[in-house]
Amino acid sequence: MRNTFLLLSLVLATSFTHAGRNAAGKKRPSPVVIAYVGGFRGQVLDPQTIAVEKLTHINYAFVDIKNGQAWLTNERTDTVNFRLLNTLKQRNPGLKIMISIGGWAWSENFSDAVLTEEARRLFAHTSVDIVRKHGLDGVDIDWEYPGVPGEEGNIYRPEDKQHYTLMFKALRASLDSLEAETGKQYQLTTAVGGGKYFIDHTEMDKAQQYLDYVNIMSYDYKTNPNGIAGHHTNLYGSTKDPEESSADRSVKLYLAAGVPPEKIVVGIAFYGRAWALPDGENSGLNRQALKGARGGGFTRLKDSLMTQGYARHWDRKAKAPYLFHPEQFIFVTYDDERSTRLKCKYVKKHKLGGVMFWEYSSDPKGYLLSTIHKSFNK
Q: Which amino acids are annotated catalytic?
A: 144
Neighbours of 129 (CB within 10 A): 14
At residue 215, the 3 state secondary structure works out as strand
Cβ 345 vs Cβ 375: under 8 Å: yes
Long-range pairs for 220-227: beta carbons < 8 A, 24 or more residues apart:
220/194, 220/269, 220/273, 221/194, 221/245, 221/246, 222/273, 222/333, 223/273, 224/289, 225/275, 225/289, 225/291, 225/292, 226/289, 226/290, 226/291, 226/292, 227/288, 227/289
**What CA–CA distance (Å, rounded) separates 350 from 334?**
23
Concatenate the DSSP letters of all residues of 81-105 into one string. HHHHHHGGGGT-TT-EEEEEEE-ST
DSSP bridge pairs for 296 = 272
**Cα–Cα distance for residue pair 192/234, rounded to 1 Å:** 17
Helix ranges (H only) for 257-336 are: 298-303
Lay out the sheet containing 330-333: strands in order across: 291-297, 271-276, 330-333, 320-325, 311-315
On whether the CB atoms of residues 70 and 140 are closer than 8 A, the answer is no
How many other C-beta atoms are found inside a 10 Å radius of the C-beta of residue 359? Answer: 17
Those residues with Cβ within 8 angstroms of residue 107's Cβ, 6 or more apart along the chain or in another chain: 142, 143, 144, 145, 150, 151, 154
Question: How far is 115 from 109, CA to CA, in rounded Å?
Answer: 10
Helical residues (DSSP H) of the chain, grouped into ranges: 2-18, 75-86, 110-113, 117-134, 160-182, 196-200, 204-207, 247-256, 298-303, 337-349, 367-376
Q: CA angle, 327 as apex, 325 and 328 as ends, to 5°?
A: 70
